[in-house]
Amino acid sequence: MSTKLQNLTPERRKYSHLLHSFLFSSLYFPLSVFLRSPTFTIWIAFTISSDQTMASEPVNVSEFEALAKKALPKMYFDFYAGGAEDEYTLKDNEEAYQRITIRPRVLVDVSRIDTSTSILGYPISSPIMVAPSALHQLANPEGELATARASAASNTIMILSFSSSYNVEEVAASCDAVRFFQLYVYRGRHIAANLVERAERSGYKAIVLTVDCPRLGRREADIRNRMIVPKLKNVEGFVSNDVDAGGGSNLEAYANSTFDPTLSWKDVAWLKSITSLPILLKGILTHEDALKAVEVGAAGVIVSNHGARQLDYSPATITVVEEVVRAVKGKIPVIVDGGVRRGTDVFKALALGAQAVLVGRPIIYGLAAKGEQGVKQVIQMLKDEFELTMALAGCTSLKDITRSHVRTDRDRFQSML
């Protein structure tokens, strides 16, 4: 008993007990009702969730972008995330997928789903591949080594960028896996020849020639940030990074002083003459160029606008997949790059005729946020979503996915005629 209560007279002590009993009994019932009410439950849930929103695990690929933005210096995040000029194509690459709807089939036994496929004869666990993207070490110290290991663990193909932080030999030694090598052609053709020979010797299975970059697109975020080109290990001893950026992007000045603007269709024959590896052309957006790619002997084409980093107001890649597919007539595989953020996007691309998709920025965001594990998570999330989409659309294997499974803007327009 408290000292204050002991000092009270017996009469006042009795009334004090009565008062406390009355207050307790009067508050107990409404308080107990409130604690058991949905209102209290919602309040507790909201309080907890509001405190832990950013600490929770990402539940989709797009959520890795915010984590990467938080983890990276502004210059590096802008380098990865930015597009050309007004960034119209950058936005449309994703939004164009959202304009395509899926037409599901029902009452199909989908107890077993097979997402596997093959590209150029190499089996992969799903039609989701890792796009070439530059300078992974800006996102994580392990750079392309981590990306390569994650790709191998995911049983998919990684295309190593010409502008990688680790060279072709270092990435090849990081793990045993099928990899392709992406090539730019510099003014000194001996540099390309050297890299192709090294890639072939290191076990790369194909050369991906980028054909949409005679000059670098105007990437205004890089200009504002005065983006600096780190050392490119693949061209060490061949090219100096020491260029005059004139107060703008060092990257732009470097690229425009090294890229060969004379590159043309006849140079595909030259490239084929120096390697036995199959050559895919990356940067095809039209029927005409797809026909030409078949004519010059390309082993495949990649429908790409360079992640919307080159020519702004070029078409969103998914909108021209059918045009390219019709042109090649099944003679060579068609892969599409740009804007893939959901498993439903993968499904839509395949329904329009692509054999696989390439994923670029989400891989970088996963690497920046959580290293090798983050890359694995991004690939697995997309694969899981794709498998679920197949099941809900009534498809048990990739051969079941047909043009009739999707409806595009063009379909809607034609239905009104």
DSSP string for residues in 306-365 = GGGTSSTTPPPGGGGHHHHHHHHTTSS-EEEES---SHHHHHHHHHTT-SEEEE-HHHHH
- Provide the domain limits for residue 113: 63-416
pLDDT one digit per residue (tens) for the chain, 417 residues: 555 545 556 566 555 555 555 555 555 555 555 556 655 554 554 454 444 444 579 999 999 999 999 999 999 999 999 999 999 999 999 999 999 999 999 999 999 999 999 999 999 999 999 999 999 999 999 999 999 999 999 999 999 999 999 999 999 999 999 999 999 999 989 999 999 999 999 999 999 999 999 999 999 999 999 988 788 889 887 765 555 555 567 777 887 888 899 999 999 999 999 999 999 999 999 999 999 999 999 999 999 999 999 999 999 999 999 999 999 999 999 999 999 999 999 999 999 999 999 999 999 999 999 999 999 999 999 999 999 999 999 999 999 999 999 999 888 877 777
> Would 58 be classed as within a structural domain?
no
> Would 184 be classed as within a structural domain?
yes
Binding positions:
132-134, 161, 182, 184, 210, 219, 282, 304, 306, 309, 337-341, 360-361
- 153 sits in which H/E element: helix 143-153
Number of domains in the chain: 2
Same domain assignment for residues 296 and 317: yes
Distance CA 133, CA 13 (A): 80
Same domain assignment for residues 32 and 164: no
Same domain assignment for residues 45 and 125: no
Same domain assignment for residues 321 and 227: yes
> Would 33 be classed as within a structural domain?
yes
Question: HSE on the CB side for 350, CA within 13 Å?
Answer: 26
Residues 140, 208, 399, 156: is their CA dihedral positive or negative?
Answer: negative
Asked if residue 84 lies in contact with residue 219, where contact means CB atoms within 8 angstroms, the answer is yes
- Chain center to CA of 222: 20
Same domain assignment for residues 29 and 120: no
Binding positions for glyoxylate:
184, 219, 306, 309
> Would 123 be classed as within a structural domain?
yes
Boundary residue ending a domain (14, 32, 52): 52
pLDDT of residue 288: 99
Structure tokens at 75: 């210059």
Helix, strand or coil for residue 199? helix
> Would 343 be classed as within a structural domain?
yes
> Would 57 be classed as within a structural domain?
no
Same domain assignment for residues 163 and 183: yes
Residues in the chain: 417
pLDDT of residue 19: 54
pLDDT of residue 50: 46
Same domain assignment for residues 161 and 299: yes
Same domain assignment for residues 39 and 185: no
Asked if residue 323 lies in contact with residue 374, where contact means CB atoms within 8 angstroms, the answer is no
User: What DSSP character marks residue 28?
Assistant: H
Same domain assignment for residues 94 and 231: yes
User: What DSSP character marks residue 279?
Assistant: E
Exposure letters 76-99 (e unless 16+ CB within 10 A, then b): bbbbbbbbbbebebbebbbebbee
pLDDT of residue 42: 47
> Would 183 be classed as within a structural domain?
yes
pLDDT of residue 8: 56
Same domain assignment for residues 90 and 233: yes
Binding positions for FMN:
132-134, 161, 182, 210, 282, 304, 337-341, 360-361
The amino acid that residue 221 corresponds to is A
pLDDT of residue 3: 53
> Would 333 be classed as within a structural domain?
yes
Same domain assignment for residues 298 and 387: yes
CATH number at residue 363: 3.20.20.70
**Residues recognised as catalytic:** 306
Boundary residue ending a domain (30, 52, 74): 52
Same domain assignment for residues 350 and 406: yes
